[in-house]
Amino acid sequence: MKNYFSSNFRLGVLGGGQLGKMLLTETQKFDIYTVILDGAADAPCAQICNEFHQGSLMDFDTVYNFGKKVDLLTIEIEHVNIDALIKLEAEGLEIYPQPSVLKIIQHKGKQKDFFVKNNIPTSPHKRFSSLAELKKEQFNFPFVWKSAQFGYDGTGVKIVKSESDINLLADTDCIVEELIPFKNELAVIVARNKSGEIKTYPVVEMEFHPEANQVEYVICPARISEEVALKARAIALKVAESFEHIGLLAVELFQTANDEIIVNEVAPRTHNSGHYSIEASYTSQFEQHVRSILNLPLGNPESKVAGIMVNLVGEEGFSGNVVYENMAEILKMDGVTPHIYGKKETRPFRKMGHVTIVNNNLAEARKTAEKVKNTIRVISK
């Protein structure tokens, strides 16, 4: 095994946002030297990594030259220049998740085609290269429209209910999916290392904000039957094994009205649905990511206690320098841990942090989560 700890090994990370910031907690624990590239000078990672470089993640030369400075490269966001990664990999740099995997996943059309090709259950879909092409098609309303690339947190996803809604869509490469009536939105995080060791985290359940299309609560364990949970974990494993990815893979799932499990989409990195694991699991998703990309033995993904995560997002009507109101009030509550991401500017629905609530009793944790949600405010003054 290479000596990664207290050594001259350099771990490169493309992206310096909140996922990178939480990853750095683990690299600091192991004393692994980290080199970060991000487009923003005030990115959450900028002040706490060992070495920070500012530059565009989508620019070929920037990403290529950054890759030449490190011994192994990983990502905290999938919107990166794939051509630069392919060249770096061809020149011998280890990159996890692999560029071939990222190339499929960062394009929702290719991702859906991959599911179909590998007999992974997913909703029926069609791909379109432009709005004009889409308008030639006859549709059953409502349907789901997704921008093929660069969508996130509800951006680039729309429920289309009528002909007039079609005119409001962006003119871009996109997919159209059948709208699936579902009981629950679930997720499973799968970790896989170079040796092929593979582990899944427990199934989590996601409760969404009705307007922002963002997760409000992540609940672990999901409030589903053991049979459904086993099915969800088995399908997530099949997805990970089909990609043969190295690192973490977050598999977002729908539980249909008749308890079938279908894959919505995947993210090849640490994920919002795994933040609860920092406090609730034996091995957090961030430590597991480090273990998997360095081909170390994977940690125990099971939970010590029930965990619920509340996203802290900018309140509507506020933009500017952020203020976290009533922080002292939530710190009085048992089992409550806030994580502030270090973004100085708030705006409506921007992810600014999260709060984890742990309790041996899931119902009690859910009650506390509601209190947290109703107490803390992310505003500006």
Dihedral over alpha carbons 66, 240, 115, 253 (to 10 degrees):
-100
Is 177 among the annotated ligand-binding positions? yes
Q: What is the pLDDT of residue 1?
A: 74
- Check whether residue 153 and residue 245 sit in a common domain: no
pLDDT tens series, the chain, 381 aa? 789 999 999 999 999 999 999 999 999 999 999 999 999 999 999 999 999 999 999 999 999 999 999 999 999 999 999 999 999 999 999 999 999 999 999 999 999 999 999 999 999 999 999 999 998 888 889 999 999 987 765 668 898 999 889 988 999 999 999 998 899 999 999 999 999 999 999 999 998 877 766 678 999 999 999 999 999 999 999 999 999 999 999 999 999 999 999 999 999 999 999 999 999 999 999 999 999 999 999 999 999 999 999 999 999 999 999 999 999 999 999 999 999 999 999 999 999 999 999 999 999 999 999 999 999 999 998
Q: What is the pLDDT of residue 215?
A: 77
- Check whether residue 187 and residue 173 sit in a common domain: no
Dihedral over alpha carbons 97, 180, 184, 280 (to 10 degrees):
10
- Check whether residue 246 and residue 324 sit in a common domain: yes
Yes or no: say if 172 and 130 are a contact pair by the CB < 8 Å rule: yes
Whether residue 164 is contained in a domain is answered as yes
Placement of tokens 């000078």 in the chain: 41
Which bin fits 112, alpha (ψ -120 to 50), beta or left (φ > 0)?
alpha
**Which residues lie closer than 8 Å to 350 by C-beta, 6 or more apart?**
313, 314, 343
Instruction: Residue 137: give its domain's CATH number.
Output: 3.30.1490.20
Query: In this structure, are strands 94-95 and 72-75 parallel, antiparallel, or unpaired?
Result: parallel
Is 185 among the annotated ligand-binding positions? yes
Q: Which domain holds residue 136?
A: 124-178
Is 216 among the annotated ligand-binding positions? no
Whether residue 116 is contained in a domain is answered as no
Whether residue 298 is contained in a domain is answered as yes
DSSP state of 272: G
CA distance 190 to 202: 10
Task: Collapse the DSSP code of 28 into the 3-class scheme (helix H, G, I; strand E, B; otherwise coil) and give the result.
Answer: helix
Q: What is the pLDDT of residue 25?
A: 97
Whether residue 160 is contained in a domain is answered as yes
Is 108 among the annotated ligand-binding positions? yes
Q: Quote the distance between the C-alpha of residue 267 and its chain's center.
A: 5
Q: What is the pLDDT of residue 152?
A: 63
Yes or no: say if 213 and 146 are a contact pair by the CB < 8 Å rule: no
Is 146 among the annotated ligand-binding positions? yes
Whether residue 2 is contained in a domain is answered as no
Is 340 among the annotated ligand-binding positions? no
